[in-house]
Amino acid sequence: MQRAGLLTPFPLRARATARTCMVSSFATELLEIRSREPSPSLHVLVVPGNPGIVGFYRDFVEALYENLGGQASVTGKLA
């Protein structure tokens, strides 16, 4: 009897990347995944609150991107 799915590797999840940009002359760290589409019709901006734990937001941004099917760009400000 074959155990379905146990030997199948998980698909690779798109990873969010961190970058720094200037916003109103302040260096601001962003966490971002860009859409697979050349000009996406949706861009999601995540404004973090509590908790200020970067790992929580990285997982959230990646899951949101995945649930939107890679059709939207997702950006979040790092604390």
CB-based contacts of 17, cutoff 8 Å, min separation 6: 31, 32, 33
Q: Give the N- to C-terminal CA distance of the chain in Å, as an integer.
A: 50
Location of structure tokens 């030997």: 7
pLDDT given for residue 52 in this prediction: 64
Cβ pair 57, 46 in contact under 8 A: yes
Q: Is the pTM of this model over 0.85?
A: no
Rounded mean pLDDT of the chain? 81
- Asked if the model's pLDDT at residue 44 lies above 80, the reply is yes
Closest CA to 65 of 37, 35, 26: 35
